[in-house]
Structure 1
Amino acid sequence: MIGSVQRALRLLEAVSDHPGGAPAKQLAREAGLPLPTAYHLLRTLTHEGYLRREQGVFVLGPAVGRLGRGAAGQDRREVVTGTMERWRDTLGVAVYFAVYREGEVELTALAESIEHPAVEEWADLRETAHAHAIGQCLLSQVDTRTRLDHLHRHPVEPLTPYTVRDASALLERLSAVERMQTVVERQEYVIGTACAAIPVTIGPTAAALAISLPLDQEHRLRPAVEQMRAELGGVIRSLMFSISI
């Protein structure tokens, strides 16, 4: 155990018990520290922004607030992953959350299990956005210039006999997707699998929630998507946080 860290934490706890602030002698006594040690740690904590000294007393500083935001952020991440895991178990699907960030498809969260495995990423998702529901959903949300730039960097290449054949056909398909419409893909990325992706547009960032199923269970896609849409409002703020990080 690192004693100096323990002592600093005890001082922070003592300061937090006094919203109006407390002097060094009182804090040293409450933290059970010799006064010279308390002075040294209080100066260090003040220098780092965890404390402020105001009219002879110490109060919590702005750096403590950043720690609090980190904890809140962790809570929001847990809401997202917990909801995805619940959907996985109740709907019997693998669940994905992805964003389009800096010109690339980025899978940020995945809920799978032995019973409901995710699709094997045998071809890089970033380079094959044209061939899977997640990528098609994200590209349907961005403007034409962004789509063209993406396809210039990642040309359309058929992965299976069902993959869209060229960029022109893909652009025509994407232009026909209505705003906030679910995108369904069948065997375009991998044979024997069907996927659906729900667009989640928050501010300027395109995002998508997606699910996958064996092709012989495709009839379960639509009911699962409808249930997820109905419950999406309860996690939208947590998804906003996930997009921002």
Structure 2
Amino acid sequence: MAEGNGVQSVDRAIDLLEIMTDLGGSAGLSELATSSGLPLPTIHRLMRTLVGRGYARQLPSRRYTLGPRLIRLGESAGRQLGAGARPHLERVARELGETANMAMIDRDMAVYVAQAASSHSMRMFTEVGRRVYCHCTGVGKMVLAQLPDSTVREIVARTGMPAATDQSITNVEDLIVELDKIRRQGYAVDDGEQEIGVRCFAVAVPDAPTPSAVSVSGPAARVTYEFGEKAVPVLHELARQVAGELLSVR
């Protein structure tokens, strides 16, 4: 049955997956019913199909979680999004002289989907596809800042907050304070929290389908706070350009 220009059952199945995502990756039937407005028999039917195809799982508790088949889709989509962003990252790497990155949140971690390296021999290098904790990276804190505090608490409860360096935030209340600061100032800073001697500035990609960020990073001796005053406006323009790429492939 069609709904508008789409297929109603497909729309509803996607709605259920998005509701589970918004709820941290899992949901009970009552939560799905409340958020979707669908009758329970319809939810049962759709969830059976999603479970059968591997896009959802049902736990012994009877709650539903996102399924493993979504991982392959997400990784492929990330590669495609990264390909579109790369020319813009390369321009910024040339303009600022430091490594430019794009990352998005995936399964409670930040995953790098594109990078353009600095021309300096001493530079920041992160492999595309690398997954990092959100609480101790610039891009990670920037994606967390796009989420409600309640969701942030759920994420760090699942992942923990291990210290990558002695500068890493390891307390959830301190992280919440940091995220509030990031939201107010419009950018995040990783000041040796992931790697000693490395500093990173990151901003959000507006209207991305999943919380995403772009950043510039390098040795702290070059990537100073004065450098950041120049870099942040450039990153905001980069984020708008990347957002345009994302809109063009929706």
Residue 173 of structure 1 pairs with residue 178 of structure 2: yes
Structure 2: state its 5+ residue gaps.
1-78
Structure 1 unaligned blocks of 5 or more: 1-72
Sequence identity, in percent?
22
2:94 maps to 89
Backbone CA RMSD of aligned residues: 2.8
Q: How does 1:81-230 map to 2 (within 5 A)?
A: 81-113=86-118, 115=120, 117-119=123-125, 125-126=131-132, 128-178=133-183, 181-202=186-207, 205-217=210-222, 218=224, 219-230=226-237
Q: Whose radius of gyration is greater, 1 or 2?
A: 1
Output aligned runs, 1:17-28, within 5 Å: none
Matches within 5 A, 1:15-94: 79-94=84-99
Deviates more, 1:226-235 or 1:202-211: 226-235
TM-score, normalised relative to structure 1: 0.59
Counterpart AA for 1:106: V
Give the conservation status (yes or no) of the 8 Å contact 1:130–1:156.
yes
The CA distance in 2 between the partners of 1:232 and 1:201, in whole Å, is 7
SS in structure 2 of the partner of residue 216 of structure 1: coil
Q: Cα–Cα, structure 1 residues 119 and 190, in superposed 2: closer, same or farther, change >3 Å?
A: farther
Change (3 A) 1:198 1:226: same
The alpha-carbon deviation at position 231 of structure 1 amounts to 5.0
In structure 2, distance between residues paired with 1:203 and 1:224? 21
Secondary structure at 1:108's aligned position in 2? strand
Deviations 1:73-124 (A, max 9, x none): 97x8655211111111121011111112343322111111452633457xx7
Sort the Cα spacing of 1:191 and 1:241 in 2 relative to 1 into closer, same or farther, 3 A. Answer: farther
Tell me the CA shift for residue 200 of structure 1.
1.3
Q: Deviations over 1:145-173 (max 9, x none)?
A: 32112101211122212111322211222
Aligned residue for 2:135, secondary structure, equals helix
Q: Is the 8 A contact 1:180 1:199 kept in 2?
A: no
SS of the residue 1:98 aligns to:
strand
User: What is the alpha-carbon distance in structure 1 between the residues aligned to residue 82 and residue 165 of structure 2?
Assistant: 35
CA distance in structure 2 between the aligned counterparts of 1:77 and 1:104, rounded to whole angstroms: 17
Aligned residues: 167
